Amino acid sequence: MDWELWQRSWDQQQELYLPEREERFRVMMDVVAAAVGRTPHVLDLACGTGTISRRLFTRLPGARSVAVDVDPTMLAIARGSFDGDARITFVTADLADPGWMESLPDEPFDAVLTATSLHWMKSEPVTRLYADLAKLVRPGGVLVNADHMPDPETPMLNALDAAIQDSHRERARAKGALEWEQWWATVARDPGFTDEHAGSREIFDQHSGGEEHPIAWHCLRLKEAGFLETGVAWRSISDAMVVAIR
């Protein structure tokens, strides 16, 4: 299996929807390095194909990562890509399950990093998850969440952003970028992913939809969870990166 090819395909598909994706990751790694140093112990939350951990190890080769996800296809690509790399450990867990932390190591984390994932969840599980993460991050450590955080009070700006995104996607499609369902169709056609794809589809079929919230909602929930200070490290019109210091 050509794991690098799958990684590039995933990146291209994600960039169809997130033109500033690599800039977000650059800022995320800047925050980690400045906050907790060059050899952090990191929780890669909803790791997907291991996108964050790949950027982490490129920027901070001495880092260690515990990568958590529930999707079998994503984890298969991630595990294949990191085969033999002792710096990373994979954990299969559903963040919506209150017992999701049971398989994690006892050692506290310097940083928790997640991107474009928590909007898949409802408000109540995210609130509980933030409380869980406050217990996992050491004092002085950070949580960084980069996600869709549109502001319902700026409808004209949101409409402008939608037009910008539509234009970007049109250009990306012309260059061969696959959309979400098209990418998953390529997974379905690969016999090496037969079991994993079936498991992923089951998760999708059972998913009841998530909720997006503005920046202020996330900052308030994080403060209520026990983080000392929250703020924004990066943002566009509809996306943002919230940082919470423990």
Q: Per residue in 9-50, pLDDT tens?
A: 999 999 999 999 999 999 999 999 999 999 999 999 999 999
Residue 33 is predicted with a pLDDT of 98
Average pLDDT over residues 70-92: 98
Give the up-direction half-sphere exposure of residue 127: CA atoms within 13 A in the CB hemisphere. 9
Class at the top of the CATH hierarchy for domain 3-245: alpha beta
Q: Per residue in 157-193, pLDDT tens?
A: 999 999 999 999 999 999 899 999 999 999 999 999 9
Rounded Cα gap, residues 146 and 144, in angstroms: 7
- Residue 241 class from Cβ within 10 Å (0-12 exposed, 13-18 middle, 19+ buried)? buried
Q: Which tokens sit at 73?
A: 């296809």
What's the mean pLDDT when you consider all of the chain?
Answer: 96
pTM (2 d.p.): 0.95
Residue 27 is predicted with a pLDDT of 98
* Per-residue pLDDT at 198 exceeds 90: yes
Q: Which residue has the higher pLDDT, 208 or 133?
A: 133
Average pLDDT over residues 131-145: 98
Q: Per residue in 47-77, pLDDT tens?
A: 999 999 999 999 999 999 999 999 999 999 9
Residue 209 is predicted with a pLDDT of 86
Residue 36 is predicted with a pLDDT of 98
**Beta-bridge partners for 243:** 144, 231
Residue 207 is predicted with a pLDDT of 81
Residue 116 is predicted with a pLDDT of 96
**Three-state SS letters, the chain:** CCHHHHHHHHHHHHHHHCCCHHHHHHHHHHHHHHHHCCCCEEEEECCCCCHHHHHHHHHCCCCEEEEEECCHHHHHHHHHHCCCCCCEEEEECCCCCCCHHHHCCCCCEEEEEEECCHHHCCHHHHHHHHHHHHHHEEEEEEEEEEEECCCCCCHHHHHHHHHHHHHHHHHHHHCCCCCHHHHHHHHHHCHHHHHHHHHHHHHHHHCCCCCCCCHHHHHHHHHHHCCCEEEEEEECCCEEEEEEEC
> What is the widest separation between alpha-carbon atoms in the chain?
49
Share of the chain above pLDDT 90, in %: 95
Average pLDDT over residues 123-148: 98
- Confidence grade of residue 206 (pLDDT, cut at 50, 70, 90): confident
Residue 154 is predicted with a pLDDT of 97
* Per-residue pLDDT at 208 exceeds 80: no
Cα 164 to Cα 157, 168, 207: the distances in Å are 10, 6, 29
